[in-house]
Amino acid sequence: MSLSEFDVIKQFFTGLTDARDDVVAGIGDDCALLDVPPGRHLAVSVDTLVAGRHFLADADPESVGHKALAVNLSDLAAAGAEPAWATLALTLPAVDTDWLRGFSRGFAALAGRHGVALVGGDTTGGPLSITVTVHGFVAVDRVLTRGGARPGDRVCVSGTVGDAALALARRLRGEAVPAELAVRLDRPLPRVALGRLLGGTASAAIDVSDGLLADLGHVCARSGVGARVERDRIPLSPALATYCRGGDWSPVLGGGDDYELLCCVPPEQLPALRVACDDAGEHLTEIGELVERPGIVLVTPDGDQPVDPGAGFDHFRGAAAPR
Ligand code: ADP
Ligand code: MG
């Protein structure tokens, strides 16, 4: 017997995540009623994943549940915010309990790691699509935006970049994807702790979802600055370092989906930030600096190359490429 919409909500989403004291009313009421702590901004972000466009329809549902929340938490990280609540709008072609079980497990596991409560949503029939909205808090003096960077600030990036794009390219070509690359594409880990550490120190931040240079371009445009990036300082995993030796840097420079944080840091703040990162077990690598002259210049051993952050890496930016 197939489940009704209300059965689906009750069986898979009510009580899925741990309770929070700041949730006055959650799933089961017309509105979620939520308490925002005084003196803090409410940070809100929404992302939609569409089957066949952002993930393959036959993708592992647990990974889809993880990623639907992860990409949103990454936006909170880029704002320096502490995650609190999520809502989930789910459009399903049919009630597939195996899929729902895997999806909700992946969602709940990541929510649990970040103390996120699922407080509402919507469940409808139609082509498979997942929209998650996340809400978090950030102290008014620790806000990160794309807009505060100044010439002379250092450009830094967390973790390693390019892994997810190389995994995607290989998957689309039907090639084997090594596990250490696949995990970066399917189970990205949002840099929430790092984002909170950067608040009040970094002058600007963004998460790397469109591609390193494209996302740096967004910061430059919003901040009214340009940038010089030293290509060979960009942090790479061993798999990517090997790949780039073949001469193709496009997964690193143009590939999205890594969900690392890119931030700009005034040079006098860097030493203390390095110590704080070491203490917290976070990795941040300096890859360049901001300049007054607009535009991005890529510094390579073969000379300086001006970059158009919005073009030149279509291979990894195909609009309809399913992940
Ligand atoms: P309404 O008709 O008032 O919009 P619904 O019948 O759509 O309410 O939903 C009933 C309750 O279940 C609401 O509290 C809603 O927020 C919650 N809900 C619906 N779908 C989901 C979902 N996919 N995940 C979490 N909560 C959900
Ligand atoms: Mg209602």
Give the residue whose CA is nearest to atom 18 of ligand 1.
121
Give the residue whose CA is nearest to atom 21 of ligand 1.
121
Structural tokens at position 276: 């704080």
Give the residue whose CA is nearest to atom 4 of ligand 1.
30
Does the CB atom of residue 90 touch ligand 1 within 6 A? yes
Query: What average pLDDT is seen over the chain?
Result: 93
Does the CB atom of residue 29 touch ligand 1 within 6 A? yes
Q: What is the pLDDT of residue 321?
A: 44
Handedness of CA 151, 283, 71, 135 (dihedral sign): negative
Q: What residues does 90 pair with on adjacent strands?
A: 123, 130
Indicate whether 316 pLDDT > 80.
Answer: no
Does the CB atom of residue 120 touch ligand 1 within 6 A? yes
- CB atoms < 10 A from the CB of 237, how many? 17
Averaged pLDDT, 182-187? 96
Q: Residue 31 C-alpha to ligand 2 middle, in angstroms?
A: 7
Averaged pLDDT, 247-266? 94
Give the residue whose CA is nearest to atom 27 of ligand 1.
121
Averaged pLDDT, 118-144? 96
Q: Residue 13 C-alpha to ligand 2 middle, in angstroms?
A: 17
Q: What SS3 state is found at 44?
A: strand
Q: Which of 9, 48, 85, 132 to mutate to test the pocket of ligand 1 (most atoms within 8 A of CB)?
A: 9
Burial of 179-199, coded b for 16+ CB within 10 Å and e otherwise, reads eebbbbbbbbbbbbebbbbbb
Does the CB atom of residue 15 touch ligand 1 within 6 A? no
Averaged pLDDT, 251-271? 95
| Torsion of the alpha carbons at 207, 209, 211 and 214, rounded to the nearest 10 | -70
Do 89 and 203 meet the contact criterion of CB atoms below 8 Å apart?
Answer: no
Give the separation between CA 261 and CA 117, rounded to whole angstroms. Answer: 24
Q: Which residues 6+ apart lie within 8 Å of 312 measured at CB?
A: 254
Q: What is the pLDDT of residue 291?
A: 97
Q: pLDDT of 112-123, one tens digit each?
A: 999 999 999 999
Indicate whether 283 pLDDT > 50.
Answer: yes
Give the residue whose CA is nearest to atom 5 of ligand 1.
122
Handedness of CA 186, 192, 193, 197 (dihedral sign): positive
Q: What is the pLDDT of residue 322?
A: 47
Give the separation between CA 177 and CA 47, rounded to whole angstroms. Answer: 26
HEC string for 275-311:
HHHHHHCCCEEEEEEEECCCEEEEEECCEEEEECCCC
User: Which residues have C-beta under 5 Å from ligand 2, the single-atom ion?
Assistant: 30
Q: What is the pLDDT of residue 1?
A: 54
Q: Sorting pLDDT into bands at 50, 70 and 90, what band is 155? A: very high
Does the CB atom of residue 27 touch ligand 1 within 6 A? yes
HEC string for 50-73:
EECCCECCCCCHHHHHHHHHHHHH
Indicate whether 312 pLDDT > 90.
Answer: no
Indicate whether 177 pLDDT > 70.
Answer: yes
Averaged pLDDT, 53-81? 94
Does the CB atom of residue 121 touch ligand 1 within 6 A? yes
Percent of the chain with pLDDT over 70: 95
Q: Residue 204 C-alpha to ligand 1 middle, in angstroms?
A: 36
Cα radius of gyration rounded to whole Å, the chain:
20
Q: Residue 192 C-alpha to ligand 1 middle, in angstroms?
A: 27
Indicate whether 323 pLDDT > 80.
Answer: no
Q: pLDDT of 14-64, one tens digit each?
A: 999 999 999 999 999 999 999 999 999 999 999 999 998 888 888 999 999
Does the CB atom of residue 88 touch ligand 1 within 6 A? yes
Averaged pLDDT, 292-299? 95
Averaged pLDDT, 285-298? 96
Give the residue whose CA is nearest to atom 7 of ligand 1.
122
Averaged pLDDT, 86-97? 95
Q: Residue 196 C-alpha to ligand 2 middle, in angstroms?
A: 35
Q: Which of 104, 116, 122 to mutate to test the pocket of ligand 1 (most atoms within 8 A of CB)?
A: 122
Does the CB atom of residue 71 touch ligand 1 within 6 A? no
Averaged pLDDT, 233-253? 95
Indicate whether 319 pLDDT > 60.
Answer: no
Q: Residue 51 C-alpha to ligand 2 middle, in angstroms?
A: 28
DSSP secondary structure of 155-197: EEEES--SHHHHHHHHHHTT----HHHHHHHHS----HHHHHH
